[in-house]
Amino acid sequence: MEKMIVAKTGNEAMAEAMRQINPDVVAAYPITPATEVVQIFSSFVADGRVDTEFVPAESEHSALSACVGAAAAGGRVMTSTASQGLALMHEVLFIAAGLRLPIVICEVNRSLSGPINIHCDHSDTMASRDSGWIQIYSEDSQEAYDNTIQAMKIAEKVFLPAIVSVDAFIISHSMERLEILPDEEVQAFIGEHRKPYDLLDVDNPITLGGLDLQDYFFEHKRQEIEAMKEAKAAVIEVGKEFGEKFGTSYGFFEEYRMEDADLAIIALGSTAGTTKVVVNALREKGMKVGLFKIRVFRPLASEEIKKSLEHMKAIAILDRADGMSSFGGPVFHEIRSCLYESEKRPIVTNYIYGLGGRDIFPEEIESVYKDLEKVAEKGEVKNLINYLGVRE
């Protein structure tokens, strides 16, 4: 198979994947730094390169509402947003998941106001993590492209919506080498559109969005939870098939030089790439360090995470969002909780970093590994929650 090698930004990569998926409907409202995704896709529509009905909405709330309507009517549906846009969609996120509509959002991770800021952190998607959407984080443009294609298939397998995200500017506006699959291969991979139901099927009329009170709401939510459990198998199945067909396999996470590691950093998104450079440098000096990159945060692969990490001496979790609980970030809470079930229960510390686009450099990541080394030696933690790269 002939892959095309091009130079594209993360936004261009996601727009390209959307073109190849060729959804029935895209309803969107542009927002920095995801504007390009919508803008590029709208030019595909104008140039007749897709068959998509494009709905320019007057807000993100309306955009996702239109997506819900279109998906309920049996369409394959996508959109794109970031930050405040995802926040404005928040109400509708739960509706899309509750109605079991396999919509895909190409999301750019940007901080939430206030104060106002347009740069990268993960507070937007982390604030949406309990909405019933599958969440896939991308390290670079290539993963953004590959993940978008896989997300469509995973979503339609289990009838849950999915968010694929990239780091604002660091990836969304950075041009990188990208391998693009032939259009027909992408179409063959995602396959025929699978829909949960079809409002326009007049022979089999259904009610959607009806009042669902004490006697059945819980059962419906219980089914939704079960679908998220099933999504685990779908993530693995689709990631494996992607690898068999196109050469790069995907799973819940990427374990980088973890085989004999004692000390591990856990990161999501572009910081994982920078951490790899640090891991290689410290390995040359004989330190047994590794990186555990989380790709899929919803569903949370708790058993697998426990198995992969329980033999570590010490782990540092990098969170690009804070839970404002005074007890660290969301990734820290969840990963640490997975490890509670382990008898070995390694030391787990938390580093909040990079809020509002504050850059993170290899030297800072190296300092975290050095902290871990000390923590593992002494067997005690001085600071459980740390703030990396902030003036105090």
Partner 1 sequence: MKEIFEIRWHGRGGQGAKTAALLFGDAALSTGKYIQAFPEYGPERMGAPVQSFDRMSDKPITIHCGITNPDIVIVLDSTLMKTIDVTDGLPDDGYLLINTHKSPAEIRKEFNIKGKKIATCDAYKISEETIGKRIPNTPMLGALIKVTSILDFNQMLKDTEEKLKKKFLGRPEIVKGNLESIKKAYEEVKQE
Please report how close the Cβ of residue 112 comes to partner 1 at its closest, in angstroms.
18
Q: Which residues, 320 to 359, sit near partner 1 by CB under 8 A? A: 359
Q: Binding of partner 1 at residue 360 (CB under 8 A)?
A: yes
Taking the least distance from each CB to partner 1, the nearer of 343 and 363 is 363
Six-digit token string for 14: 């996601």
Q: What is the DSSP string of 345-372?
A: --EEEEEEE-GGG----HHHHHHHHHHH
CA distance 277 to 291: 10
Please report how close the Cβ of residue 138 comes to partner 1 at its closest, in angstroms.
11
Six-digit token string for 111: 């901080």
Taking the least distance from each CB to partner 1, the nearer of 71 and 279 is 279
Please report how close the Cβ of residue 123 comes to partner 1 at its closest, in angstroms.
18
| Cross-strand bridge partners of residue 104 | 78, 162
Please report how close the Cβ of residue 234 comes to partner 1 at its closest, in angstroms.
28
Binding mask 73-112 for partner 1 (x = CB under 8 A): ----------------------------------------
By CB under 8 A, name the one of 82, 118, 136, 296 that touches partner 1: 118
* Whether the Cβ atoms of residue 148 and residue 16 lie closer than 8 Å to each other: no
Residue type at position 3: K
CA distance 387 to 391: 9
Please report how close the Cβ of residue 175 comes to partner 1 at its closest, in angstroms.
4
Q: Binding of partner 1 at residue 139 (CB under 8 A)?
A: yes
Q: Using the structure block, give the residue that is written with the tokens 């000096």.
A: 285
Taking the least distance from each CB to partner 1, the nearer of 46 and 277 is 277
CA distance 291 to 272: 7
Taking the least distance from each CB to partner 1, the nearer of 24 and 176 is 176
Please report how close the Cβ of residue 81 comes to partner 1 at its closest, in angstroms.
18
Taking the least distance from each CB to partner 1, the nearer of 247 and 362 is 362
Taking the least distance from each CB to partner 1, the nearer of 124 and 140 is 140
Nearest Cα residue to 73 out of 206, 199, 209:
199
Q: Which residues, 152 to 191, sit near partner 1 by CB under 8 A? A: 167, 169-171, 173-177
* Whether the Cβ atoms of residue 102 and residue 63 lie closer than 8 Å to each other: no
Q: Which residues, 243 to 282, sit near partner 1 by CB under 8 A? A: 270-271, 273-274, 276-277
By CB under 8 A, name the one of 219, 361, 377, 378 that touches partner 1: 361
Select from 3-11, 149-157, 302-310, 337-345 the region that touches partner 1 (CB under 8 A).
3-11
Six-digit token string for 313: 């001496």
Nearest Cα residue to 141 out of 109, 110, 176:
176
Taking the least distance from each CB to partner 1, the nearer of 60 and 140 is 140
* Whether the Cβ atoms of residue 137 and residue 297 lie closer than 8 Å to each other: yes
Q: Binding of partner 1 at residue 309 (CB under 8 A)?
A: no
CA distance 121 to 352: 10
Within 29-120, strands assigned E span 53-56, 77-82, 104-109
CA distance 90 to 328: 23
Taking the least distance from each CB to partner 1, the nearer of 44 and 169 is 169
Residues within the interface to partner 1 (CB under 8 A): 5-7, 33, 118-119, 139-140, 167, 169-171, 173-177, 270-271, 273-274, 276-277, 359-362
